[in-house]
């Protein structure tokens, strides 16, 4: 895999080729491999290695980007020429700032707390072979066959890099590994599911995940239809993750400036329950990802919500400067670059991507939540979540792969899947109890550290046919 020293050489060659006022080069890529199985057998094994060099040049407020995955002299000359010719025909961007140097990239005191990011590169994960993935799949299939189920899913592994170099001397580099297992177990009229992702494959147990997925498929067989309505729900962490993930695009300075955030007019006010505290924290031990943003600014630990009160949003450098001049500047809390910007140029500005829900003082396990529930629904995961109302943050979606009726403190049976139409504001104001937060994986949102939640008056509006 490309290393920082090699990247530095490539950057030096690019810098010599460029006539621009400023040059920024981003490196990305690595190795990715995936083994996919269905009908209890492996049917796909793919692997690729690719490294991308993305060159941004600046001429007096005009900027553009071009990229290549070839590093010979002619290819680098061509990508520099492409970036420069594109930059020269852009309209000047009055919000464009000079590139950050390494001092600015470490962040200001207003940005958030300082941190030390842990290593996220694990040799054991980097060395996963197709045979090791196949061995994991074999164990999963063994569980399926023992329960007379059919299984499908993936076991993937990756070793990736992110790097940034610019003509003001900034250079930073991040490598990490990743392993992921996703399992669906199918019965005649039911299904179960589990998914896990970690930089360290030692944290992933395919056999244990398969057993849970299989149990859900078996126990939700012959689902009963019960009417839609408002129920107490117990949302497992994957279900919490996929639904709350839809609000984090709104914790963005640019979203406030564009007046497309549901937090417009709500920063500093209490919109969730006392028990909801949310951080963005790239250094959290259960998190993953790169500790700097698209311009190389260090990601800061930022308190987004404290005891139900929205405290602030995150900023790219240029967005922070725009906000300081805007009519909203006195209504949005601290304003400073927090290290959450996307690579420039872009239309979205920034977003927090290392979400961590703070633990509560009296966490409960899912089993304890079930035991204290007189009548409710246990939800394994949600599916096809989409936004219905952007300001009230009403979301729709379906339950999937293990939905159960709970009565008198016990799981009674599987039920046909529900459609939800629920406001996130309403949901996070009605959380009765939470579990200890865990690293969770879903399909609709990026991985986060979230708890299971027991929520009262959750709004199911329809029932489907299975």
Partner 1 sequence: MRAEGWNRLPMIRMTNISLLPGEKPLSLEQLIESTDHAILLQTNRSWSIDDKRYNFQFGCEIGWEIKNGKRARMVKNPSYSGITTEFWNSLDAICSRDEWILWGTPNCGKGQPQQVMGTGHGAAPSRFRGIKVGSAYKSS
Specify the residue, 152 or 351, whose C-beta has the smaller distance to partner 1.
152
Nearest-angstrom CA–CA distance, 197 and 182: 9
Classify 82 as helix, strand or coil. helix
Task: Give the DSSP H or E segment for 235.
Answer: strand 229-235
Minimum gap (Å) between residue 366 Cβ and partner 1: 23
Classify 336 as helix, strand or coil. coil
Specify the residue, 328 or 383, whose C-beta has the smaller distance to partner 1.
383
8 Å CB contact between 399 and 463:
no
Minimum gap (Å) between residue 188 Cβ and partner 1: 13
Minimum gap (Å) between residue 16 Cβ and partner 1: 32
Alpha helix stretches (DSSP H) within 303-358? 317-324
Minimum gap (Å) between residue 301 Cβ and partner 1: 30
Specify the residue, 32 or 249, whose C-beta has the smaller distance to partner 1.
32
Half-sphere exposure of 80 (CA within 13 A, CB side): 22
Q: Which residues are CB-contacts of 20 (< 8 A; sequence separation ≥ 6)?
A: 57, 58, 59, 83, 84, 87
Six-digit token pair at 33?
């491999």
Specify the residue, 1 or 463, whose C-beta has the smaller distance to partner 1.
463
Specify the residue, 278 or 395, whose C-beta has the smaller distance to partner 1.
395
Cis before 345 (ω within 30):
yes
Nearest-angstrom CA–CA distance, 45 and 161: 22
Minimum gap (Å) between residue 229 Cβ and partner 1: 9
Half-sphere exposure of 295 (CA within 13 A, CB side): 31
Short-list 416, 320, 411, CA closest to 367: 411
Minimum gap (Å) between residue 130 Cβ and partner 1: 15
Minimum gap (Å) between residue 388 Cβ and partner 1: 5
List residues near partner 1 by CB under 8 A. 32, 34, 36, 44, 46, 48, 154, 156, 182, 230, 383-389, 392, 394, 396-398, 400, 417, 419, 421-423, 426, 459, 461-466
Specify the residue, 141 or 154, whose C-beta has the smaller distance to partner 1.
154
Nearest-angstrom CA–CA distance, 126 and 124: 6
Specify the residue, 354 or 396, whose C-beta has the smaller distance to partner 1.
396
Short-list 33, 327, 336, CA closest to 156: 33
Nearest-angstrom CA–CA distance, 175 and 29: 10
In eight-state DSSP terms, residue 286 is T
Other Cβ atoms less than 10 A from the Cβ of 375: the count is: 11
Pairing of strands 355-357, 309-310: unpaired
Specify the residue, 39 or 384, whose C-beta has the smaller distance to partner 1.
384
Specify the residue, 280 or 401, whose C-beta has the smaller distance to partner 1.
401
Minimum gap (Å) between residue 34 Cβ and partner 1: 6
Minimum gap (Å) between residue 461 Cβ and partner 1: 5
Handedness of CA 111, 114, 118, 119 (dihedral sign): positive
């Amino acid at each position: 895999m490309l290393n920082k020293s090699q990247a530095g050489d490539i950057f030096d060659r690019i810098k010599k080729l460029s006539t621009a006022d400023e040059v920024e080069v981003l490196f990305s890529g690595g190795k990715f491999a995936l083994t996919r199985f269905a009908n209890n057998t492996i049917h796909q094994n793919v692997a690729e290695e690719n490294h991308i060099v993305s060159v941004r040049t600046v001429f007096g407020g005009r900027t553009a980007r071009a990229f290549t995955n070839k590093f010979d002299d002619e290819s680098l000359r061509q990508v520099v020429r492409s970036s420069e010719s594109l930059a020269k025909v852009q309209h000047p961007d009055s919000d464009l700032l000079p590139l950050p140097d390494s001092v600015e990239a470490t962040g200001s005191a207003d940005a958030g707390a300082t941190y030390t990011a842990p290593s996220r590169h694990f040799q054991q994960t980097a060395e996963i072979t197709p045979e090791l993935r196949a061995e994991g799949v074999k164990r999963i299939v063994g569980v399926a066959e023992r329960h007379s189920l059919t299984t499908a899913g993936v076991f993937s592994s990756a070793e990736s890099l992110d790097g940034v170099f610019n003509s003001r001397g900034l250079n930073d580099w991040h490598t990490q590994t990743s392993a992921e297992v996703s399992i669906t177990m199918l019965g005649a009229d039911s299904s179960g599911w589990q998914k896990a992702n970690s930089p360290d494959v030692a944290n992933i147990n395919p056999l244990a995940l398969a057993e849970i997925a299989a149990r859900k498929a078996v126990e939700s067989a012959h689902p009963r239809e019960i009417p839609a309505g408002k129920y107490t729900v117990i949302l497992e962490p994957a279900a919490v993750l996929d639904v709350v993930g839809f609000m984090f695009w709104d914790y963005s300075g640019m979203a406030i400036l564009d007046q497309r955030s549901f937090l417009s007019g709500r920063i500093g006010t209490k919109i969730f329950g006392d028990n909801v505290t949310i951080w963005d924290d790239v250094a959290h031990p259960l998190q993953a990802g790169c500790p700097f943003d698209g311009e190389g600014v260090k990601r800061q630990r930022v308190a987004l919500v404290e005891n139900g009160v929205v405290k602030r949003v995150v900023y790219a450098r240029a967005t922070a400067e725009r906000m300081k001049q805007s009519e909203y500047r006195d209504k949005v809390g601290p304003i400073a670059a927090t290290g959450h910007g996307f690579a420039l140029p872009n239309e979205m500005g920034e977003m927090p991507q290392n979400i961590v829900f703070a633990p509560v003082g009296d966490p409960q396990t899912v089993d304890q939540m079930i035991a204290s529930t007189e009548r409710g629904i246990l939800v394994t995961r949600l599916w096809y979540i989409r936004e219905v109302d952007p300001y009230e943050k009403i979301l729709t979606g379906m339950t999937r792969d293990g939905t159960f009726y709970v009565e008198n403190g016990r799981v009674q049976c599987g039920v046909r899947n529900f459609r939800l139409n629920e406001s996130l504001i309403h949901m996070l104001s009605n959380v009765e109890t939470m579990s200890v937060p865990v690293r969770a994986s879903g399909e609709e949102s990026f991985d986060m550290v979230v708890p299971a939640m027991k929520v009262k008056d959750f709004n199911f509006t329809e029932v489907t046919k299975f």
